Chains A and B, each alone.
Chain A
Amino acid sequence: MTTPPPAVQFLATDGTFAPSAGSDEYLPYIEALSDAQHEQFYRDMFVIRRFDTECTNLQRQGQMALWPPSHGQEAAQVGSARATRAQDHIFPSYREHVVAKIRGVDLMGIVGLMRGTTLGGWDVNDPKNGNFHGYTLVLGTQTLHATGYAMGVNFDGAVGTGNPDTDTAVVVYFGDGSTSEGDVNEAMVFAASYQTPTVFFLQNNQWAISVPVATQSRVPLYLRPRGFGIPSVQVDGNDVLASYAVSAKHLDDARNGLGPSYIEAMTYRIGAHTTSDDPTRYQTDEQLAHWVARDPILRFETFLKNKGASEAFFADVEQEAADFAADIRRRTLELPNPTIDNLFDHVYSEPHPLITEQKAWLANYEASFGGDK
């Protein structure tokens, strides 16, 4: 096997601008970025990490059933999400909190899922939610939904017309563990056969709970889609500029009717899979230290400071993050428990006699105790 090219990178670990060999085709996307966009990337990453901390704390205080943090993966998510256009559709896994936020979803939707007040959380058909589809907990299933959606985009003729405001790409997020699921592989078969505008965005955070990525694959995961006839690239997922530029290029290709592609963003889950996990059982201190030194937020902070970003900017971001977290905490504690309606009302979209009968029975039963239950 020939030595694979290095992952696409624009920012070295120390935050200096140092494009990797072979990154030329992505450079125009970097050059087109404004200072304001750079600052937005930083703001996105910083605020979501504070949000993650708040939600983890809320779970520890018994206010949530579970929390899956995205700590360490912020650059992969922010770069790819900021590369999408309004008409694009996003099919997440369950850890893409900042992608949801960037697309316009009120993160209380995610909080509701994890606190345990709903199985849904937001309406993908409401334009304010940016075509951000529901979280999916059965790993890999969403890759087929995204590919089917993209087949529909093709049938509708909504790719390759040259109109940048209507040609549509579909991004699907998944992790290194999911790549072993049959559905992810079937999705690549369908995407290749129907040449769908799907961008497969793999966040390789090195762990499927406790199992290292080496158990999922003996070859770098970005090489796998090539066997399916899908072009692919590996990117430094802790470099927000690289994540942005590579995503922007492949999203453009998808919208332009060039078919599916696959991005492997190399990143690391700093900390636990969820609040139910104990990473000290499988992760060494050395591994952790290695990746903490590659923290995506610190790297970009150095880059911005070298470019002359002001102290006032960083102070402002800190204040925004603190306010955001405080607002989430307040609203989490106010979230009401669902009622009987929640149990029955949306199992079917049209009346179903068994459900109608059971709802009436439970309402009577509850009422038989008198007063509020």
Chain B
Amino acid sequence: MAVEELPLAKAINAGLRKAMRDNDKVLLMGEDIGTLGGVFRVTEGIKAEFGDTRVLDTPLAESGIVGTAIGLALRGYRPVCEIQFDGFVYPAFNQITTQLAKLTNRGRGTLRMPVVIRIPYGAHIGAIEHHMESPEAYFAHTAGLRVVSPSTPNDAYWMIQESIESNDPVIFFEPKSRYWPKGPVELDASASPLHASRVARTGTDATLVGHGAMVTMMLQAAELAATEGVSLEVIDLRSLSPVDYTPILDSVTKTGRLVVCQEAAGFVSVGSEIAATVAERAFYSLQAPVIRVSGFDVPMPAPRIENLYLPDVDRILEAVDRSLAF
């Protein structure tokens, strides 16, 4: 089995190239993604390989990018749009929520919208306003969209290809602070389903659930907890819509305690939805209330104080302590 050590950004690049070689209807569009290779270099070199009708350096207009991608999809193309940063998706929000998400339903089974929207998201990079947000909940709340977020290079490589193969629109959140660390990518392993969650570490005392960059943090917390004799199970959500609840409910049935972790603000968040669903479905298994570890319900702050806002290993362990003490 071929395994290559790749950073997550290069794993997405490899996945995009694979999808483009497999299907000549796949094309990439976005700001600065061609000649420059994207501001994070995720698409580096792809224009040189596939040319400027497969990799479009578009005008600087997010609604235009998504709106024309919808038209291209109606023509039979499978566009993959890059939104340069999380906080710049809002000019495209109308096209995503009122058109892209709705056209399949409006078409009563006659239309397909195989459009992927890649969004680098999240903090830990010391950037200024609009460059470190976690807007997943807006999209997970919108019927008609699928929302995913890989946490490892291997998942990134496979999930981008599966997202492109999906006949429904997929919002693909890339944890930008994880772009650079390397991890093993199994190049010819069969992919796990796009919407399956994954047990990243097994444990018995409490369950941690999260996605994206938070998975690394949860694993670090579990490592530290183990040194104090506490066994934490860690679940990587991978998919935020739909959520694969089976591994979560199985885990909570075993541990009786759940801490949901996310960078996003907690109010009306994906973590809130998971907490509510677990409370509904695993009530008698729970030994403690479900606890959320989230960002605060304030704007993402200036980068010099991002660490005050962001959940970290200590805040996860503080929540675990509260759960265990209940």
Interface residues of A (CB under 8 A from B): 118-120, 123-126, 133-134, 136, 138, 141, 143-153, 155-156, 182-183, 186-187, 189-190, 193, 345-350, 352-354
Q: In the bound complex, what is the Cα–Cα distance between A182 and B59 (angstroms)?
A: 14
Q: Are B107 and A149 in contact (CB under 8 A)?
A: no
Q: Are A145 and B64 in contact (CB under 8 A)?
A: no
Q: Are A346 and B105 in contact (CB under 8 A)?
A: yes
Q: How many A-B residue pairs have CB under 8 A?
A: 136
Q: Are B67 and A186 in contact (CB under 8 A)?
A: yes
Q: In the bound complex, what is the Cα–Cα distance between A150 and B75 (angstroms)?
A: 8
Known A125-B110, A346-B104; contact A145-B74, beta-carbon cutoff 8 A: yes
Would you list 22 pairs from A and B whose C-beta atoms are within 8 A, ordered by A residue?
A: A119-B102, A119-B105, A119-B108, A120-B110, A141-B94, A141-B98, A143-B67, A145-B74, A146-B71, A148-B70, A148-B74, A149-B75, A155-B27, A183-B64, A187-B67, A190-B68, A193-B59, A347-B105, A347-B144, A348-B146, A350-B168, A354-B241
Residue of B nearest to A136 (CB): B99
Q: Is B182 an interface residue (CB 8 A)?
A: no
On chain B, the residues within 8 Å of A124 by CB distance are: 74, 107, 110-111
Q: In the bound complex, what is the Cα–Cα distance between A152 and B168 (angstroms)?
A: 19
Q: Are A145 and B67 in contact (CB under 8 A)?
A: yes
On chain A, the residues within 8 Å of B168 by CB distance are: 348-350
Q: Is B299 an interface residue (CB 8 A)?
A: no
Residue from A119, A124, A145, A190 having most chain B Cβ neighbours under 10 A: A145
Q: Is B69 an interface residue (CB 8 A)?
A: yes
Interface residues of B (CB under 8 A from A): 27, 53, 58-59, 61, 63-64, 66-77, 91, 94-95, 98-99, 102-113, 143-144, 146, 166-168, 241-244
Residue of A152, A346, A350 near B71 (CB, 8 A) is: A152
Residue of A120, A141, A155, A346 near B67 (CB, 8 A) is: A141
Residue of B61, B66, B72, B105 near A152 (CB, 8 A) is: B72
Known A138-B94, A141-B94; contact A147-B108, beta-carbon cutoff 8 A: no
On chain B, the residues within 8 Å of A345 by CB distance are: 109
Q: Are B64 and A144 in contact (CB under 8 A)?
A: yes
On chain B, the residues within 8 Å of A143 by CB distance are: 67
Residue of B nearest to A343 (CB): B105
Residue of A138, A193, A346 near B108 (CB, 8 A) is: A346
Q: Are A151 and B68 in contact (CB under 8 A)?
A: yes
Q: Are B108 and A189 in contact (CB under 8 A)?
A: no
On chain B, the residues within 8 Å of A153 by CB distance are: 75
The 3 closest A-B pairs by CB, nearest first: A148-B71, A144-B67, A152-B75
Q: Are A187 and B70 in contact (CB under 8 A)?
A: no
Q: In the bound complex, what is the Cα–Cα distance between A125 and B190 (angstroms)?
A: 34
Q: In the bound complex, what is the Cα–Cα distance between A46 and B88 (angstroms)?
A: 49
Known A147-B68, A183-B63; contact A348-B76, beta-carbon cutoff 8 A: no
Tell me, rounded to whole Å, the shortest Cβ–Cβ distance linking A177 to chain B. 16
Q: Are B110 and A148 in contact (CB under 8 A)?
A: no
Q: Are B71 and A141 in contact (CB under 8 A)?
A: no
Q: Are A183 and B95 in contact (CB under 8 A)?
A: yes
On chain B, the residues within 8 Å of A123 by CB distance are: 107-108, 110
On chain B, the residues within 8 Å of A138 by CB distance are: 94, 98-99
On chain A, the residues within 8 Å of B68 by CB distance are: 144-145, 147-148, 151, 187, 190
Q: In the bound complex, what is the Cα–Cα distance between A82 and B67 (angstroms)?
A: 27
Tell me, rounded to whole Å, the shortest Cβ–Cβ distance linking A275 to chain B. 22
On chain A, the residues within 8 Å of B95 by CB distance are: 141, 144, 183
Q: Are A134 and B71 in contact (CB under 8 A)?
A: no
On chain B, the residues within 8 Å of A348 by CB distance are: 104, 144, 146, 168
19 more A-B residue pairs beyond the given contacts A141-B94, A150-B71, A353-B244, with a C-beta to C-beta distance below 8 A: A119-B106, A119-B108, A124-B111, A125-B111, A134-B103, A141-B95, A144-B67, A144-B68, A148-B70, A149-B75, A151-B71, A152-B72, A183-B67, A187-B64, A189-B59, A190-B68, A347-B105, A348-B144, A350-B168
On chain A, the residues within 8 Å of B63 by CB distance are: 144, 182-183, 186
Tell me, rounded to whole Å, the shortest Cβ–Cβ distance linking A56 to chain B. 24
Residue from A147, A346, A349 having most chain B Cβ neighbours under 10 A: A349
Q: In the bound complex, what is the Cα–Cα distance between A126 and B66 (angstroms)?
A: 25
Q: In the bound complex, what is the Cα–Cα distance between A42 and B60 (angstroms)?
A: 45
Residue from A138, A141, A148, A354 having most chain B Cβ neighbours under 10 A: A148
On chain B, the residues within 8 Å of A125 by CB distance are: 110-111
Tell me, rounded to whole Å, the shortest Cβ–Cβ distance linking B160 to chain A. 17
Q: Are B99 and A141 in contact (CB under 8 A)?
A: yes
Tell me, rounded to whole Å, the shortest Cβ–Cβ distance linking A115 to chain B. 15
On chain B, the residues within 8 Å of A156 by CB distance are: 75
On chain B, the residues within 8 Å of A353 by CB distance are: 242, 244
On chain A, the residues within 8 Å of B91 by CB distance are: 182
Q: In the bound complex, what is the Cα–Cα distance between A353 and B102 (angstroms)?
A: 18
Residue of A nearest to B107 (CB): A120
Q: Are A134 and B75 in contact (CB under 8 A)?
A: no
Residue of A nearest to B53 (CB): A155
Tell me, rounded to whole Å, the shortest Cβ–Cβ distance linking B84 to chain A. 16
Q: In the bound complex, what is the Cα–Cα distance between A193 and B67 (angstroms)?
A: 15
Residue from B58, B63, B143, B241 having most chain A Cβ neighbours under 10 A: B63
On chain A, the residues within 8 Å of B67 by CB distance are: 141, 143-145, 147-148, 183, 186-187
Q: Are B70 and A352 in contact (CB under 8 A)?
A: no
Known A149-B75, A151-B71, A190-B64; contact A347-B143, beta-carbon cutoff 8 A: yes
Q: Are A147 and B98 in contact (CB under 8 A)?
A: no
Residue of A nearest to B27 (CB): A155
Tell me, rounded to whole Å, the shortest Cβ–Cβ distance linking B59 to chain A. 5
On chain B, the residues within 8 Å of A133 by CB distance are: 74
Q: Are A144 and B70 in contact (CB under 8 A)?
A: yes
